[in-house]
Chain A
Amino acid sequence: MAAIEATEVTMDFGGMKALDRVNINVEKGDVFGFFGPNGAGKTTLIRVLTGQLEPTSGSVRVLGVDVVKEPIRAKELVGIVPEVESPPTYLTGYEYMYFVGKVRKLDNLEDRIDKWLTYFDLEAKKGTICKDMSKGMRQKLMLASAFMHEPELLFLDEPFINLDPIYQKLLREYLEEYVAKGGTVFLCSHILEIAERLCNRLAIVNLGKVALQGRKDELVRGDEDLERVFMRAIGGGLIRRPS
Chain B
Amino acid sequence: MLKEEFRNHASYSGQERFLTFPVFVLVIATVVALTLDKTLETVSLGQLMEFSHLSAFIYGLSVGTFGLMGRQYIERRHGRNNYLVAMPYILPLSFKTTFLGIYIRDALFYLALLLVPATGGLLLAAPVMGYSYASIGLLFASVLLTFLIGLSMSFLASVVFIRSKRWFGLFTAAIACLFVLHGAFGLLPLEAVLPSLGLQMNVRPFAVDATEALMFAAVSVAEVLSMTLVAYALVEVRISISSQSYADLLPKYHEKMRWLGGLKRVLFSKEFVDIRRSGTVAKMSFSFVLPLLFLSFTTWFVNYGLAIPVGFNTVFYASMVGFIGVMMYSWLNNIDLAEYYSLIPVTVPQLIKVRVAVFLVLTLGISASFVVGISVLNDEVRYLWLSLTVMFVTSLYMVLVLAYLTGLRTNTFLFDTSILARFSVMSFLPDVCLVILSFSVTTEWTFALIGIAIVLVMMSLTSLILYRGIESKWGRASFTD
Residue ranges of A at the interface with B (Cβ–Cβ < 8 Å)? 47, 50, 52-54, 72-73, 75-76, 80, 82, 84, 86-92, 94-95, 98-100, 102-104, 127-129, 131-132, 145-146
Contact = CB atoms under 8 A, between A and B. Distances in A.
Interface in B65-86: 76-77, 80
Contacts of B249: 95
The binding surface of chain B is classed by DSSP as loop
Interface string B230-246: 00000000000111111
A127 B343 CA distance: 23
B111 interface: no
A165 B267 CA distance: 36
B450 interface: no
Interface string B67-107: 00000000011001000000000000000000000000000
A104 B245 contact: no
B250 A82 contact: no
Contact of B263 (A73, A103, A146): A103
B270 A75 contact: no
22 contacts: A47-B480, A52-B342, A52-B478, A53-B480, A73-B345, A82-B343, A88-B274, A88-B336, A89-B336, A90-B273, A91-B250, A92-B248, A94-B248, A95-B248, A95-B249, A95-B251, A102-B265, A103-B263, A103-B266, A103-B346, A128-B243, A132-B244
A143 B435 CA distance: 55
A82 B273 contact: no
A91 B343 contact: no
Given A52-B478, A104-B344, A95 B273 contact: yes
Contacts of B80: 84
A87 to B, nearest CB: 6
Chain B interface size, as a band, is 35 or more
Contact of B337 (A86, A94, A104): A86
A88 B275 CA distance: 12
Given A82-B339, A129-B246, A89 B76 contact: yes
Closest 10 CB pairs of A and B: A127-B245, A102-B266, A90-B277, A95-B250, A75-B345, A52-B342, A80-B343, A72-B345, A89-B336, A86-B339
Contacts of A52: 342-343, 478-480
Interface centre among B242, B245, B335, B345 (most CB of A within 10 A): B345
Contact of B246 (A54, A88, A127): A127
A100 B346 CA distance: 10
A235 B339 CA distance: 35
A71 B113 CA distance: 40
A80 to B, nearest CB: 5
A146 B340 CA distance: 11
A189 to B, nearest CB: 18
A146 B343 contact: yes
B278 interface: yes
A217 B83 CA distance: 45
A138 to B, nearest CB: 11
Interface string B269-293: 0100110011000000000000000
Contacts of A72: 345-347
B337 A75 contact: no
A84 B337 CA distance: 13
B393 to A, nearest CB: 33
B247 interface: yes
Contacts of A84: 77, 80, 339
A102 B246 contact: no
Given A47-B342, A84-B80, 16 more contacts: A54-B476, A54-B478, A72-B347, A75-B343, A76-B345, A84-B77, A86-B339, A87-B340, A88-B270, A89-B76, A90-B274, A95-B251, A98-B250, A98-B251, A128-B244, A129-B244
B254 interface: yes
